[in-house]
């Protein structure tokens, strides 16, 4: 074949389940980005293969416009993983490949690391006495930190120091005390390196087991009670991986967990650390991704999407809080980062370490069956004991703004001793209901089947599902009365109540609203660790990963939320959430206590929580799943549909089910009837879903492969937005 007639299969970011053939005059390796004409547009695609011939006649093939990379950007190992993801999640390969790249690369920008601006003290700045800046605390703090960082700090590091870092830095520069330069190479840690503390027997056994398996695939489930030192196990194993010249990928479920882990890793290793999460700008994400690809960053730490990072020398993958639902992408390519990470490790023949105090039932079952190696850390480090758990029967107590008298007395006792308390309520805002006390009218969202939440400080009614907001209604639209009041509590209301009960206490609220500004969360956590906060009020952002040595009390408000939810995983999630947040108490040398406010104190879930008995709860939950045929004893796929027209989504799903039955899915594949979603209307769109279930994974996927591709071509599917969710974690 002549050089001018080479044919390449290109993955193009379109919702079509196929690749596209293009001509190119020169050799292009798989993994190379190219610009290609696509209809009236020009798109950035990725070469997957060279083929001898195309299904289309040669004269109908278009030519690649431009090759964007001198060398393949995506290595063969990552391309193989992406092909697997496209097959397993039954998603268009072009969109899968697109998802794996940082935004800059999707847009066709050069794959090169740009210099990062770094600020250091000038000689004049080094001579300044920080005491002279006591009237400008932000400037003083920056000057203090820069004096301890001779290699300089970049914008991301400065943002973690102060919310007002930009204005403070500008002031210091105007005085000639700070200068900047471009850092071209990927930086190593410039903090003082700390050695490994002495491991307890459980930690040592876990480290020994995993390090013995380096260089081969094995999945390890590290089940350790809260405060048992799971992170120290990660660090010790990573130390061995780095000593072998390999890289480690560490996944965490939420951005809020990255600052403290970065600090732990930076204090332990001199090696550069690449961060990958949605809080970074496009250039920083690109720099980190390319640094990992070039082996300039031996440690890669990130959230869900970091699982697609191309490691040049992979040696270990760690998935912290492996049970967390945040690892599941809820739109587009609906992948589970945990499950993709396991396949990544298997294909690279490296170990993967899954850590949690409350493992998912799926992972626990695999460990019990021997597919994973179970490693147990039953004790807290440093001799700390597990907190005492006490149930407060709310049937006999009269709360004030959600706070019972015993809980208020317990908080007062901690304040008297100079100890810290956490009050946990997984509901932000002031009140979940704005209600007319004359006729019972409740403020609804006009676009969702949901009620509006009162945010008192903003004086707004907000929908937490679609983001709609409106002014607070002062006259009832139903009866025209003015007797409107908030009903129920959110974190904002609890914060206000605490300020009334304890006017001298320093209170920090940690939820999505209070930490929306960049650096706000880090600043709040800094105040907590510095002893500048007495009471923390927050949502699930407080529930995991945080180590507050002076917290001795955790109060769980509205513990019954989710106890009887429609989702079959509701009980499991509630147990995990309460156990995780309870684990914040008593992690040092001071005993901890957990008070759980509940209207159902006799429920077996709370009995297991009192005993810190995860395995006991898991046994009950697994028995229920076995009897009902739900995962992990079956495999699910959920076909979701939505439309602005009432009834259109259900109509589409009825047609989709008819097509599915016609395909004869075979024995063991059950196609349920379409049903409205639990929240049928959301953001102005009417939603419905159809569940497909099978006891065996293989026949389910054989059926899905046929069904989805025929749906993509069906005329009745053109007017309705639909998606397939394989292994759904939310049945909403």
pLDDT at 540: 87
The reported pTM is 0.89
Distances (CA, A) of 409 to 402, 508, 559, 610: 14, 19, 19, 20
pLDDT at 3: 46
pLDDT at 191: 58
* Contacts of 457 by beta carbon, 8 Å cutoff, 6+ apart: 430, 492
Which domains are present in the chain? 3-106 (3.40.1440.60), 116-183 (no CATH), 201-382 (3.40.50.300), 384-431+488-624 (3.40.50.300), 635-726 (3.30.70.360)
DSSP H stretches of helix in 463-548: 491-501, 520-529
Alpha carbons 575 and 579: distance in angstroms, whole number:
6
pLDDT at 547: 79
Alpha carbons 484 and 439: distance in angstroms, whole number:
10
Q: Give the residue among 712, 704, 699, 702 at the shortest CA–CA distance from 728.
A: 704
- Identify the bridge partners of residue 692 per DSSP, sorted by sequence position: 637, 671
pLDDT at 156: 67
3-state SS assignment for residue 209? helix
pLDDT at 320: 95
pLDDT at 258: 67
Positive or negative, the CA dihedral 16, 19, 25, 31 is: positive
Cβ proximity of 636 and 693 under 8 Å: yes
pLDDT at 2: 46
pLDDT at 4: 56
Tally DSSP H helices, then E strands, for the chain: 21, 31
Alpha carbons 353 and 268: distance in angstroms, whole number:
19
Alpha carbons 563 and 572: distance in angstroms, whole number:
9
Q: Give 10-residue mean pLDDT values along the chain (732 residues).
A: 74 95 93 95 96 90 93 95 98 96 94 80 87 84 82 74 78 90 61 78 96 96 94 96 97 78 85 85 89 93 95 97 95 96 98 97 97 96 89 94 96 97 95 96 95 95 94 95 95 96 96 83 85 94 80 94 86 94 87 96 95 95 95 97 95 96 86 94 96 95 95 90 95 76
In 481-606, beta strands by DSSP E: 484-487, 507-510, 535-538, 551-556, 593-598
Alpha carbons 28 and 587: distance in angstroms, whole number:
56
Provide Rg for the chain, Cα atoms.
27
Distances (CA, A) of 98 to 29, 44, 291, 534: 17, 9, 19, 46
pLDDT at 570: 92
Cβ proximity of 438 and 535 under 8 Å: no
Both tokens assigned to 143: 């000057």
pLDDT at 484: 96
Cβ proximity of 338 and 322 under 8 Å: yes
DSSP 389-423: EEEEETTS---BTTB-HHHHHHHHHHHHHT-EEEE
* Contacts of 503 by beta carbon, 8 Å cutoff, 6+ apart: none
């Amino acid at each position: 074949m002549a050089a001018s007639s080479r044919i390449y299969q290109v993955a193009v970011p379109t919702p079509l389940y196929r690749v596209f053939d293009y001509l190119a005059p020169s050799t292009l390796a798989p993994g190379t980005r190219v610009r290609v004409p696509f209809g009236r547009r020009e798109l950035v695609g990725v070469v997957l293969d060279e083929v001898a011939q195309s299904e289309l006649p040669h004269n109908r093939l278009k030519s690649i416009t431009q090759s964007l990379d001198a060398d393949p950007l995506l290595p063969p190992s990552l391309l193989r993983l992406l092909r697997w993801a496209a097959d397993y999640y039954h998603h268009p390969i072009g969109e899968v490949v697109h998802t794996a790249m940082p935004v800059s690369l999707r847009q066709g920008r050069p794959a090169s690391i740009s210099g990062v601006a770094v600020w250091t003290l000038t000689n004049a700045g080094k001579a300044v006495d920080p005491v002279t800046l006591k009237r400008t605390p932000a400037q003083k703090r920056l000057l203090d930190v820069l004096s301890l960082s001779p290699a300089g700090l970049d914008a991301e590091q400065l943002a973690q120091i102060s919310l007002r870092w930009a204005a403070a830095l500008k002031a210091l520069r105007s005085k000639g005390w700070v200068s900047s330069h471009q850092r071209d190479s990927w930086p190593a840690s410039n903090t003082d390196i700390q050695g490994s503390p002495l491991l307890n027997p459980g930690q040592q056994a876990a480290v020994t087991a995993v390090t013995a398996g380096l260089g081969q695939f094995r999945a390890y489930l590290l089940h350790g009670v809260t405060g048992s030192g799971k992170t120290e196990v990660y660090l010790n194993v990573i130390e061995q991986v780095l000593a072998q010249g390999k890289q480690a990928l560490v996944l965490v479920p939420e951005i809020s967990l990255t600052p403290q882990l970065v600090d732990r890793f930076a204090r332990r290793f001199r090696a550069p650390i690449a961060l990958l999460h949605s809080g970074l700008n496009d250039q920083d994400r690109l720099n980190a991704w390319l640094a990992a690809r070039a082996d300039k960053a031996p440690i890669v730490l990130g959230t869900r999407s970091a699982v697609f990072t191309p490691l040049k020398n992979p040696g270990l993958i760690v998935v912290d809080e492996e049970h967390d639902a945040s690892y599941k992408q809820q739109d587009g390519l609906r992948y589970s980062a945990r499950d993709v990470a396991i396949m990544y490790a298997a294909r690279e023949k490296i170990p993967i370490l899954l850590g949690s105090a409350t493992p998912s039932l799926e992972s626990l079952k695999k460990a019990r069956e021997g597919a994973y190696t179970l490693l147990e850390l039953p004790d807290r480090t440093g001799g700390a004991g597990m907190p005492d758990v006490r149930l407060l029967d709310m049937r006999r107590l009269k709360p004030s703004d959600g706070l019972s008298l015993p809980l208020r007395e317990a908080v007062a006792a901690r304040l008297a001793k100079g100890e810290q308390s956490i009050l946990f309520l997984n509901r932000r805002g002031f009140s979940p209901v704005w209600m007319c006390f004359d006729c019972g009218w409740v403020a609804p969202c006009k676009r969702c089947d949901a009620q509006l939440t009162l945010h008192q400080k903003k004086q707004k009614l907000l929908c937490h599902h679609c983001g709609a907001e409106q002014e607070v209604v002062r006259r009832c639209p139903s009866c025209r009365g003015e007797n409107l009041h908030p009903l129920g509590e959110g974190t904002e209301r609890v914060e206000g109540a605490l300020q009334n009960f304890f006017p001298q206490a320093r209170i920090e609220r940690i939820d999505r609203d209070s930490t929306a500004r960049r650096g706000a969360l880090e600043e709040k956590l800094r105040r907590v660790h510095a002893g500048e906060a007495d009471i923390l009020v927050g949502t699930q952002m407080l529930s995991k990963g945080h180590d507050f040595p002076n917290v001795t009390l955790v109060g769980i408000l509205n513990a019954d939320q989710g106890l009887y939810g429609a989702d079959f995983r509701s009980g499991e999630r509630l147990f995990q959430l309460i156990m995780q947040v309870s684990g914040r108490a008593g992690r040092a040398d001071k005993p901890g206590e957990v008070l759980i406010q509940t209207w159902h104190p006799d429920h077996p879930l709370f009995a297991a929580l009192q005993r810190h008995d995860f395995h006991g709860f898991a046994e009950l939950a697994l028995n229920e799943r076995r009897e009902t045929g739900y995962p992990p004893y079956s495999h699910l796929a959920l076909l979701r549909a939505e439309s602005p027209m009432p009834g259109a989504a259900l109509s589409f799903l009825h047609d989709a089910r008819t097509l599915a039955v016609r395909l004869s899915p075979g024995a063991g594949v059950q196609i349920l009837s379409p049903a409205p979603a639990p929240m049928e209307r959301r953001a102005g769109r009417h939603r419905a879903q159809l569940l497909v279930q099978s006891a065996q994974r293989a026949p389910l996927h054989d059926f899905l492969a046929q069904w989805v591709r025929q749906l993509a071509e069906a005329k009745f599917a053109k007017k309705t937005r639909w998606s397939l969710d394989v292994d759904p974690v939310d049945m909403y």
